[in-house]
Chains A and B, each alone.
Chain A
Amino acid sequence: MSVIEKLSKLDRRYVFLAVAIAVSLPMFFPLGLPVEVTAPVKQLYDVIEELPERSVVLISIDYDPSGAPELQPATLAILRHCFKRNLRVLVLGMWAPGVPLGMKALDEVAVKEFNKKYGVDYVNFGYRPGGAIFLVNLGRDVHDVCRTDVYGTPVDELPMMRDVHSAKDIALVVTMSMGVPGSDQWIFYYQARYRGKLATAQTAIGAPRYYPYLQTGQLVGLIGGMKGAAEYERLVKTRGFASIGMDSQSAAHMLIIGLVVLGNFIFWMEKRKK
């Protein structure tokens, strides 16, 4: 069996091994390559930057632990930006397993870093079922669909919620989304009805789908995957998990390119032989 034949029949477990090495090596030997900020991420940063102080930003945690490596760094970076700008933050989520992730992010940023006051500077409504229907109701009457917060406190007892009744009172919504319900529902059932500002952070695999919405203005910003989160971390001047993961991602992309080139070389050699 020639080398070309052997390569064309390569056991895919060798490919898996190569990926594992490519991803893990840079964690031990970081390259620290600088991250270039792209326009969709900068757009979101600028929108938050221009919001008047004390405006309300709603962050929807629409992911679960599997999406956390890509989306949690973006959540943390956006929270940091919001609290730095003295904005008020309303957190909720349409994925039940995402609730603890939202709580953890708030604890890390709002409590430990910025010493913000619960109920005044931020609130957390936890898991909200209903998907699209919930969003239609949310835009109409926040108090009706969020009657108690994640700790069981009635909404009327939260000082911050005195001014937040409907979509009109929410300056920006950022959905951190990896599937259904997520960005699609926010675009079709919330933004299309209430016309508020909406941005999304997506897993890298889902991000390309949202570019047309960025052009139409239905989205005011888009953070795609860990790279997008790393860009946001750069904008808010922190070096978080996403920035650290960029070297691994670089290595993995280079490996894929190498393998695609190799695959095509084999294909071309085989074709010539025939």
Chain B
Amino acid sequence: MPVKPVKQTYVNTSLYAADAMGVCSALYELDGMSVMHDASGCNSTYTTHDEPRWYDFDSLVFITAMTEHEALMGDDEKTVRDISEAARQLNPRFIALAGTTIPAMCGIDIPALARLIEAETGIPSFGLPTDGMHSYLRGAALAFDAIASRFVKETEKTAALSVNILGLTPLDFSYIGIEESIKAAVKAADIEIISSWAMGSSPEDIEKSASARVNLVVSETGLEAAKTLEKRFGIPYVIGTLISGFTTDIIEAIKTADADKRNINPAEIFIGRDAASVAVIGEYVFASSLCAALSKRGISAYPVCPLESRLKAKPSDSVSDEHAISEELKNAGTVIADPLYAPIAKGKKFIALPHEAYSGRIFRESIPDLTESIEKILKELI
């Protein structure tokens, strides 16, 4: 019988971390309590595959352990009671409630539940309308945006050039020191770092983010927060990941953004999609920054972002499933991607570039620090 290609099928590739997990990852170091409104499974998935800090760095992440009866009967009081009770025991700085699939399907009003919890506990609380059917990008973006909207205070700008680094989570940068390389590269340009969202900064640092002159968005998880901080405090933003060979462009863009008070995406001009034969699969800011770095070394490359990016240039960039990604790779001779993408790049030169948000912890030890160097990739390309 004839077979219909189905867009939502994945024969032997993986999927990205989901939105609710993105919420928990973004807020992990901020002394709050993140709760996924879920039956079971989201918590262990997050703590096993999406959170490399879980074993050594305590943070409060839980699930509501929803049951069929609660879902059917709409027992919101229990959710409020359980979260309030845990908060009383653990005294978090804030409470974030993230929805998953069943609450979304039952029409549970997550932001309203958060308001009830705040009224009950007196602890600042916010609900994020995640539904388990989007990627971490959306969840982390919602979480960072909630922080930008509610917790950043009006502060005088620094006299010297300064930045917040937005969108820094282990899902995109792992937990192997890359975040330190990024910060070192910024500091080496004599730019002060006010805060990094959210690895290695205290909640107090984050609160002072309005004193920065520019926001640097290193992954798309930080974009919505950058827009909110621009709206609230007039801070312009630069989009780009500090990748060796492309770092100077980003530093220059930060200076220009500060001087001209405008937003800049310096990678855009380097992406020569039509002539390129190297495809980089990944989160859009990272992938386009790597393409820019390669372009500066004479290799034309284009990003393939299977995530719901708002930065994609063309509708044709909208890919998510195996059929669409394969189509995007049709003309590529070389594919740079997470090792779990290898099955759909058969017959092409494949360069492994593990991405924690895709393959979790499996290849963590071989994730390269591209802020330090891209020579290994260049060697493989040539």
Q: Do A and B bind each other?
A: no
Seen from chain A, the residues whose Cβ lies within 8 Å of a Cβ on chain B are none
Seen from chain B, the residues whose Cβ lies within 8 Å of a Cβ on chain A are none
